[in-house]
Amino acid sequence: MIKIVGILVVFGCVLGGFVLSGGKIMALVHPFEVMIIGGAALGAFLQANPASAFMHVFKKSLSMFGSRFTHTFYLEVLKLIYEILNKSRREGMMAIEADVEEPASSPIFTKYPAILKDQRMTAYICDYLRIMSSGNMAPHELEGLFDMELASLKEDLEHPAHAVAKVADGMPAMGIVAAVLGIVITMSILATADNAQIGEKVGTALVGTFLGILASYGFFAPLSNALEHDAKEELNVYEAIKAALVASASGMPPTLAVEFGRKVLYPAHRPSFSELEQAMRGS
C-alpha cells in the first residue's frame, strides 16, 4: 500500500506543480515520445538479460505492492521447522521421510500453505532434511554446503533488482535520444514553420527528456531499491532456516534450534521469544 501512495505522491506533486504554475497537462501527452523511450529501454533490457528474465522481473515487480515477508510469515516458517524437527527427534529421522519426499501431502507442510506455495523454499527445507537424515555429514560440513547454496541463491534473488537498476540508469539517456529526435524534426521545418509551430516542436522534444528523467528517478530507481530490499528479506528467511537446521544437526533440541533461527531474522518483523514459545506449544 505504501508503494502505491509513493507513486501517487510522485504523480500528484509533479503534475500538480506543473498545472498550478500555469502548465497544461495535454502539453505533456506525447505518445510517440513514450514509445521511443519505453521501446528503447525494453529493447536494451531484452538484450542485457536472459530470455526468461522479463516475465520474472515483471512478476516480482507486481509483487512489490504487497509483501509476504511479514511477522506472520516468519512465525509460520519457524513453526514449520519446529514441528518437523520435533517429529524427527521423537520418532527418528526416518519418520519424516514421507513429509520430505511428498511435502504437498504432508500433514505438517499442508498446515502452512504460504510456505508450501513457495516451491524453492519448500525444496530448500526438504533437501537439507534429506541430507540430515542420511547421518553422514558433520554439522560444519552441512553449514559449508548451506553457505555455498546461499551464495548462489543471493545472486539469483538480487538479479531482478540489478536488471531494473540498469534500466533506471539508462532512462535519462533514452529521454535524451527522444529529445534529440524531436530537435531533428524541429530543424527540418525551420524554413516553413512559424514561431508557434517551432515552439511546439521544441516543447515536445523537451518532454522526452522530462519523461526519461522522471521515469528513472521517480519510478524505476525506487522499484529497483524495493526489489533489492525484498531479495534481502527473502534471503534472510533462508539464513534463518539454515541456522535452525545446523543447530539441530549439532545436537540442539528443537526448541533451542528454532530460537537460533529466530535470532537471525531481521528485527522489523521478528517474532518475540514468548510469541514463538506460545506458537510451538500450540503446535
Amino acid at 50: P
Average pLDDT value for residue range 45-66:
82
Q: What's CA 182's distance to the chain center, in Å?
A: 36
pLDDT value, residue 150: 95
The pLDDT-based confidence of 54 (bands split at 50, 70, 90) is confident
For the chain, domain boundaries: 31-282
* pLDDT exceeds 90 at position 95: no
DSSP letters, the chain, are -HHHHHHHHHHHHHHHHHHHTT--GGGG--HHHHHHHHHHHHHHHHHHS-TTHHHHHHHHHHGGGS-S-SHHHHHHHHHHHHHHHHHHHHH-GGGGHHHHH-GGG-TTGGG-HHHHT-HHHHHHHHHHHHHHHH--S-HHHHHHHHHHHHHHHHHHHHHHHHHHHHHHHHHHHHHHHHHHHHHHHHHHTTTT--HHHHHHHHHHHHHHHHHHHHHIIIIIHHHHHHHHHHHHHHHHHHHHHHHHHHHHHTT--HHHHHHHHHHHS-TTTPPPHHHHHHHHHH-
pLDDT value, residue 213: 94
pLDDT over 90, % of the chain: 48
CB 245 within 8 A of CB 260: no
Between CA 10 and CA 12 the distance in angstroms is 6
End-to-end CA distance of the chain: 32
By CB neighbour count within 10 A (0-12 exposed, 13-18 middle, 19+ buried), where does 175 fall? buried
Between CA 99 and CA 110 the distance in angstroms is 10
The pLDDT-based confidence of 21 (bands split at 50, 70, 90) is confident
CA neighbor of 253 nearest in space, from 99, 90, 133, 77: 90
Average pLDDT value for residue range 93-100:
85
Residues 6 or more apart in contact with residue 10 via CB below 8 angstroms: 214, 218, 219
pLDDT over 70, % of the chain: 100
Amino acid at 66: G
pLDDT value, residue 283: 62
pLDDT digits (tens, 9 = 90+) for 138-176: 888 889 999 999 999 999 999 999 999 999 999 999 999
pLDDT value, residue 196: 83
**Grid coordinates standing for 224?**
529497483
How many residues make up the chain in this entry? 283
pLDDT digits (tens, 9 = 90+) for 175-232: 999 999 988 988 888 777 788 888 888 888 899 999 999 999 999 999 999 899 999 9
